[in-house]
Structure 1
Amino acid sequence: MKKKILLGLGLAAIMALSACGGSAQDVSGDKSQTEKHYPLTIQNYTKVEGGTTWDKKDQKFDKAPERIMANTRPAAELLLNLGLGDKIVGVGASFGAPDKTVEEEYAKLNILSDSYVGKEVTLGTDPDLVFGRGGLFDNADWGVGTVDSLNEMGINTYVLESSVTGATYDSIYKDIENIGNVFNVEDKAESFIKKLKDQEEKITSNLSSISENKTFAYLHTTDPKELMVYAAHDETFFNDVFHMIKLDNVFKDESAEISIEMLIDADPDVLIIPMWVEEDPANAEKVKEGLYSNPKLSSMKAIKNKQIYAVDYNYMFGYGYNSIDGMELLAKEMYPDLFK
């Protein structure tokens, strides 16, 4: 809340003159610092259209971008946490669990679609930076355009390191550091990194009494009659995030398609299913009950011990900082006594 204090005319005049002098000095200082900061080169990534291999590619910034298109909700929320909401001109793929701390600011943004958006819609926002999840940098209908094609039009890109094969949750810290550097808001980036690391440390501390990891398998289904096991072999970020709460993907080394028979033979301790907040909240419970009552799965430990858990899709495959929120929620559900 802004407060106005009425002072005597003489004192007001003196303070006004003083403020003007101070303000001019600050602006000059800020300008000088900005000039020293740019041009700035950040090492990032590119891949060929339809490809899966990421190669390093530098992005040069002559100044801080003014018009950012964020290709997913988690990407936009990261920017909001760094105080960059006024620079976001469009958000694609606006689905998934919200970050409550920036939900009010997020609601004011230009939401382009609840689903993935294409290159034409992306360019319609007239961005000078396209930012977010790597898998969406493609010229397909669901893609914002390849890195190279956008760069050729004079548009900078930033592919989240967390969304590139080989990433871990620590890649999030590198992304925040890089964006803090690009926008010259290093203090905010440092503060946000500390907040996340404190949260991670707290989770680790609460689970310190657990000596062994449990195994899990991910079932990509919202219908118990249509079972699909996703090995997530190349999903290094996904696999690392679950390590945070001492869960190990039983199929992380499998590159082949996983059959139901393979799932039963592997017999993981836990089964994870996806959840979308936009759906009927009870749907995940219906899926659980359907799996528990499936006679084909009845011999599995996870079924016998009632160890099926639903996790919001964005917490697993949004490649964002708020994956830690999903893991904390899951840990509290699995080990409620350790989080009292």
Structure 2
Amino acid sequence: MKRKLLLGVGLAVILTLAGCGGSIKSSSTEDTQTNKHYPLTIKNYKKAEGGTTWEKKEQIFEKAPERIMANTRPAAELLLHLGLGDKIVGVGANFGAPDKAVEEEYSKLPILGDGYVGKEATLGTDPDIVIGRGGLFDNADWGVGTVDTLNEMGIHTYVLESSITGGTYDSVYKDIENLGKIFDVQDKAKSFIKQLKEKQNSITSKLANIEEEKTFALLFMTDPKEVSVFAAHGETFFHDAFRMVKLDNVFKNEKGEVSVEMLIEADPDVLIIPDWTTYNNSNPNDIKEALYANPKLSSMKAIKNKQIYAVDYNYMFGYGYNTIDGIEILAKEMYPDLFK
């Protein structure tokens, strides 16, 4: 009897251990699958304080960051598309056309300032990663701190490749892919890339039969009475975006200042002005009307043919995915018959 009891107990123990063994093995497998993604090395960039030359610098992640500071609105909106809103602890440069798809989520984020924010405000969010526009990674009052400075404090950085010299709209896809890896949300990254590429392909296909590439100049103006030309030399992302609508910056190789006389002599087909509506409630039509009425510019083709278009600042210099939205708006204005 005792022997049978012991045998029964022993069998129960064996069955219990077998059950636990299966459970432990499953748990171990899950842990391995979860942790095999990290440590993760991402090749990114840095530049010296006040510098202009970007150098490669690796960022090594032992796990997904938990507290994100985004230095511009477009950077924060990108993170929202990847489902990372609960990790955003601060947003700088709160201006520019909103992305309607994530506008409600964005309204709940902690905004640090309407303009560019400095290192003190950035560090005040206690971030473990700072993400965004490359030009803002500086120790100046308007900068979040250099990459080296932040890294030395134990804070990771991700400089958007679209925002550095050589960046193009294709760089946006690389940024989304990298951020998908950093936060282990690759499926959402792939889905968003697919969505953006479909929109880009739709625009380019509608404009495919336009063989003539028009020239343009950017008039960086806030005061209708003061004509100011921005050459945008070295702004590769800006130039690549406008090439989607068959526009070529007539001053792209000009390193110095561009005078009004140079503008008149170059006589571009199109003039682009920034739309500051979402920044200071100004009306771009006021600038258009002033330019059309300016006697000094009356001989220009763009003036005679009414070819002045306003584009939101963030669509031009936000270096983000939503530039495609601005390009689509511009394409519809320039070629309305092709988008009916």
Give the secondary structure class of the aligned counterpart of 1:257: coil
Give secondary structure in 1 for the equivalent of 2:43: strand
2:144 alignment partner in structure 1:
144
Q: Tell me the equivalent position of 1:288.
A: 288
2:46 maps to 1:46:
yes
Give me the whole-angstrom Cα distance separating, in 2, the residues matched to 1:206 and 1:270.
Answer: 20
CA distance in 2, matches of 1:101, 1:238: 23
Q: Determine if contact 2:162/2:237 at 8 Å carries over to the other structure.
A: yes
| 1:261-272 correspondence runs (5 A) | 261-272=261-272
Please identify runs of 4+ aligned residues in structure 1 that moved more than 4 A.
Answer: 23-30, 279-282
- Deviation, structure 1 residue 334: 0.8
Residue aligning to 1:214: 214
Aligned to 1:6: none
Match of 2:93 in 1: 93
User: Alignment partner of 1:278: what SS?
Assistant: helix
After the TM superposition, which of the residue ranges 58-67 and 270-279 deviates more from structure 2? 270-279
Output the CA distance in 2 between the equivalents of 1:266 and 1:94.
35
Contact 2:168 2:237 in 1 (8 A): yes
Q: 2 CA distance for matches of 1:278 and 1:254?
A: 30
Matched with 1:201 is 201
CA contact (8 A) 1:272 1:308 kept: yes
Q: Give how far 1:212 is off.
A: 1.4
Does 147-156 or 28-37 show the bigger shift?
A: 28-37
1:160 matches 2:140: no
Taking the aligned partners of 1:262 and 1:27, their CA distance within structure 2 comes to: 70
Q: Displacement, 1:25? A: 9.5
Structure-2-length-normalised TM-score: 0.91
Question: Deviation of residue 277 (structure 1)?
Answer: 2.8
The AA in structure 2 aligned to 1:283 is N
Kept after mapping to 1: 8 A contact 2:276/2:282: no
CA distance in 2, matches of 1:176, 1:155: 20
Gaps of 5+ in 1: 1-22
TM-aligned CA deviation for residue 303 of structure 1? 0.1
Residue number in structure 2 paired with 1:81: 81
Q: 2-side partners of 1:277 and 1:286: how far apart?
A: 11
TM-score by length of 1: 0.91
Cα pair distance change 1:299/1:27, threshold 3 Å: farther
Over the aligned positions, Cα root-mean-square deviation in angstroms equals 1.6
Deviations 1:254-300 (A, max 9, x none): 11211111100110000000012335656200000000000000000
1:41-82 residue CA offsets vs partner (Å, 9 max, x unmatched)? 100000000001100000000000000000000000000001
Cα 1:30–1:185 change in 2 (3 A) is farther
**Is the partner of 2:212 in helix, strand or coil?**
coil
- Determine if the alignment matches structure 1 residue 231 to structure 2 residue 237: no
Partners of 1:149 and 1:232 in 2: CA distance: 28
> Matches of 1:27 and 1:270 in 2, distance apart?
63
Cα distance in structure 1, aligned partners of 2:53 and 2:92:
24
- 1:26 and 1:339, CA in 2 relative to 1: closer, same or farther beyond 3 A? farther
Retained in 1: the 8 A contact 2:169–2:237? Answer: yes
1:257 lines up with 2:257 in the alignment: yes
Instruction: State how far apart, in whole Å, the 2-side matches of 1:332 and 1:299 are.
Output: 26
After superposition, residues 4-23 of structure 1 pair within 5 angstroms as none
Equivalent residues of 1:222, 1:283 under 8 A apart? no
- Aligned pair in 2 of structure 1 residues 271, 68: CA closer, same or farther (>3 Å)? same
| Residue identity (%) | 75
